[in-house]
């Protein structure tokens, strides 16, 4: 069976953006190799440091961060890069490069040491006209992304991308090292049969979320009139990958544990790229008030409440939030 490779797929993409996507894909291939070696490569376990979020860093968090910062510095089309793992953006020597790159280099770190799927999430924004950079240039809403994607390091390594014309998935051929188009035009079924949320937080949820989950649990005997199954991998990349491939909803909503924070997940390099992919696949992404892509950022590492996936489910969640 003949597959289209990433290079061919990129032929219809802006040359600078194609160069950036290729460079990120090479970074993902390197991280995939390191992840696959696990203990053999001495990359498991704690780094013994904390990131800007105050979270303990795994060795692979830091290694992956270095890989993608190196990608940003060397590709020649990124003016500045921002990472979940670093307080401040890194400005490259390409002072008039067209793009800004934001990424979570290794999402789902708590799963690294127990061999459960993890991933890299990235977002591409346009740099300001001309030359120069100010950190405020990064604070663009998710609708202004020119590209968004993730790599999921699982039984297969896959790269899932959008440049605004739908969502396509590539599988890394471990023999040749090439990214091959294995699924084009991912589309989230409007109706869902699965929901994903960390149910151990149920006593902390806002009422609309509690109501939504209760209805799912009531199944065909309740107001939804159908049974639901539940999943929670605790790797956003893996949970969202399932939603993009077979439907459902993924939720990490605001809860009472840290009432001053809108949620756990980060807007700029987790929720925004995933929300663009979900909308491009016919789904919706909601923060309890508005579409996540419409949130006007005020800080690079700000968090957001996330409910995304099947259009029918998100519309129902919106109705519960209005009630
Ligand atoms: P919890 C991983 O740390 C992450 O940021 C997301 O990938 C994931 O969905 C979530 O946190 C898991 O959080 O509280 O269930 O461990």
ipTM value, please give it.
0.99
Of all protein residues, whose CA lies closest to atom 16 belonging to ligand 1? 234
Pocket test of ligand 1: the residue of 235, 237, 257, 303 to mutate, having most ligand atoms within 8 Å of its CB, is: 235
pLDDT per position as a tens digit, 293-317: 999 999 999 999 999 999 999 999 9
- The pTM for the full model equals 0.97
Instruction: Please determine, for residue 50, whether its predicted confidence score (pLDDT) is greater than 90.
Output: no
- SS3 state of residue 77: coil
State if residue 116 touches ligand 1 by the CB under 6 angstroms criterion: no
Q: Give me the pLDDT at residue 188, please.
A: 98
Q: How far is the CA of 234 from the centre of ligand 1 (A)?
A: 5
- Ordered structural domains, the chain, with CATH: 6-183 (3.30.540.10), 194-322 (3.40.190.80)
Please state the rounded mean pLDDT for residues 117-134: 98
Phi, psi at residue 167, to the nearest 5°? Answer: -120, 125
Q: Beta strand 46-50 with 56-58: parallel, antiparallel or unpaired?
A: antiparallel
- Please state, in angstroms and as integers, the Cα–Cα distance from residue 137 to each residue in 71, 198, 217, 260, following that order: 20, 34, 44, 26
- Least confident segment among 51-60, 95-104, 260-269, 280-289: 51-60
pLDDT digits (tens, 9 = 90+) for 65-124: 999 999 999 999 999 999 999 999 999 999 999 999 999 999 998 898 999 999 999 999
Provide the 8-state DSSP code for 269: I
pLDDT digits (tens, 9 = 90+) for 244-278: 999 999 999 999 999 999 999 999 999 999 999 99
52 pLDDT exceeds 90?
Answer: no
Sign of CA dihedral 194, 197, 202, 207: negative
Distance 5 CA to ligand 1 centre (A): 32
């Amino acid at each position: 069976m003949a597959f289209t490779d990433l290079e061919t797929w990129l032929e219809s993409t802006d040359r600078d953006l194609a160069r950036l996507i290729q460079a990120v894909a090479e970074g993902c291939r390197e991280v995939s190799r390191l992840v696959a070696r696990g203990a053999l490569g001495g990359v498991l376990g704690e780094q013994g440091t904390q990131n800007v979020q105050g979270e303990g860093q795994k060795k692979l968090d830091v290694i992956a961060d270095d890989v993608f910062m190196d990608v940003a510095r060397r590709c020649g089309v990124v003016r500045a890069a921002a990472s979940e793992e670093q307080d401040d953006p890194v400005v490259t020597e390409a002072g008039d490069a067209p793009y800004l790159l934001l990424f979570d280099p290794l999402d789902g770190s708590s799963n690294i040491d127990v061999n459960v799927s993890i991933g890299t999430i990235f977002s591409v924004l346009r740099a300001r006209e001309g030359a120069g950079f100010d950190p405020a240039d990064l604070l663009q809403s998710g609708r202004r992304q020119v590209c968004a994607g993730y790599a999921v390091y699982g039984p297969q390594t896959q790269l899932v991308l959008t440049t605004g014309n739908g969502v396509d998935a590539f599988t890394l051929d471990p023999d040749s090292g090439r990214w091959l188009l294995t699924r084009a035009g991912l589309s989230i079924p409007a109706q869902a049969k699965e929901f994903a949320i960390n149910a151990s937080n149920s006593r902390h949820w806002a009422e609309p979320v509690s109501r939504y989950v209760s209805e799912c649990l009531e199944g065909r005997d309740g107001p939804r009139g159908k049974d639901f199954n539940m999943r929670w991998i605790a790797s956003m990349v893996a949970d969202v990958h399932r939603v993009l491939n077979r439907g459902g909803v993924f939720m990490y909503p605001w809860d009472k544990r840290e009432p001053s924070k809108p949620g756990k997940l980060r807007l700029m390099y987790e929720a925004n790229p995933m929300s663009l992919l979900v909308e491009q696949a016919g789904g919706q992404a909601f923060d309890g008030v508005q579409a996540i892509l419409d949130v006007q950022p005020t800080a690079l590492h700000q968090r957001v409440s996330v409910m995304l996936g099947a259009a029918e489910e998100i519309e129902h969640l919106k109705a519960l939030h209005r009630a």
